[in-house]
Amino acid sequence: MTAFAPTSNDRSIKVDGLKTHDNYQLLNRELAADDPWRLDGNPFERKRHAQMLLLSLAQGPIANALEVGCAAGAFTEKLAPHCQRLTVIDVVPEAIDRTRRRMNKPAHISWVVSDVQQFSSEELFDLIVVAEVLYYLGDIAEMRMAVGNLLRMLAPGGHLVFGSARDANCQRWGHVTGAETVIAILTEMLVEVERLELQGDSDNEDCLLVRFRNPVSSS
C-alpha cells in the first residue's frame, strides 16, 4: 500500500476488481513512471499535499513523525524539514528507494519497508500521517487492524492526519470502502479536530482530510 492512489484519470481502470497482489504489482509499475500518480504535476495533488502539510504543522514543529506510505516522496519532501525525526514506511521497496534518492538520504529520516498492519516501533510518534493508503486493504477488519496498530504508536496528545478519497469513489474503483468509513473507525478512538473537503476538476478528485488528536493523557 503506497500512500497514494493511481492517477485520477486512471484510478477506476487500474484498481477495479483487482486483488491485493495485483494492486501491489500495479503500484510497482506506476512507480516506474517519471511522475507516479502525477503527484508533482497535478494541481489537485499539489493542493492536497499543501493542505496535508498545514494540518500536520497545526501544533508547531514536530519532534517525531511517522509517514505511512511515501509513493515517490512528493509529500515526504514537504514534511521532512519540519521534523526532528521522521520514520517513513512503505510496503513497496521501490517507493522507499525512490524517495530516499529524492531526499538525498538525510540523517534524521529512518526508512522501513513494511506493511501498515505489521509495522511496529518502540517509539511513540507525535504525528502520524496516513493518506490514500488504507483503502488498499482487503476488508474493513483489516482496516480496523491497521488503525489499531497505528494508534498504539501515537503518543498521548499526539495527532494523526488522515486523507482518503470518499467511500463512493473508492467503491467505484473496486475497493471495499474509503474515507467516511475509516473516519468513523478513527473517531471511535480519537478526537476529530479539523476536517477539510477537497475537490478538483475531475469526479475522481474528491477527498477528505482530517486531523485527529489522541485524547489519552501522558500522566
Model confidence band, residue 8 (pLDDT cutoffs 50, 70, 90): very low
Give the E-state strand segments of 36-134 in sequence order.
Answer: 62-68, 83-90, 109-113, 125-131
Q: Is-above-0.85 flag for pTM?
A: yes
Res. 216: pLDDT tops 60: yes
Whether 116 contacts 87, CB under 8 Å: no
Domain 21-214: CATH superfamily is Vaccinia Virus protein VP39 (3.40.50.150)
pLDDT of residue 218: 67
- The whole-angstrom separation of Cα 90 and Cα 74 is 14
pLDDT of residue 1: 36
List, in sequence order, every residue forming a beta bridge with 24; answer none if it has no partner: none
pLDDT one-digit tens code per residue, 171-211: 998 889 999 999 999 999 999 999 999 999 999 999 999 99
Cα 31 from chain centroid (whole Å): 16
Model confidence band, residue 10 (pLDDT cutoffs 50, 70, 90): very low
Mean pLDDT of the chain: 87
Cα 187 from chain centroid (whole Å): 17
pLDDT one-digit tens code per residue, 52-99: 999 999 999 899 999 999 998 999 999 999 999 999 999 999 999 999
- The whole-angstrom separation of Cα 159 and Cα 213 is 4
Give percent of the chain with pLDDT exceeding 70.
82
Closest CA to 150 of 179, 177, 113, 121: 121
- Residue type (1 letter), 197: E
Q: What are phi and psi of 30, to 5 degrees?
A: -65, -35
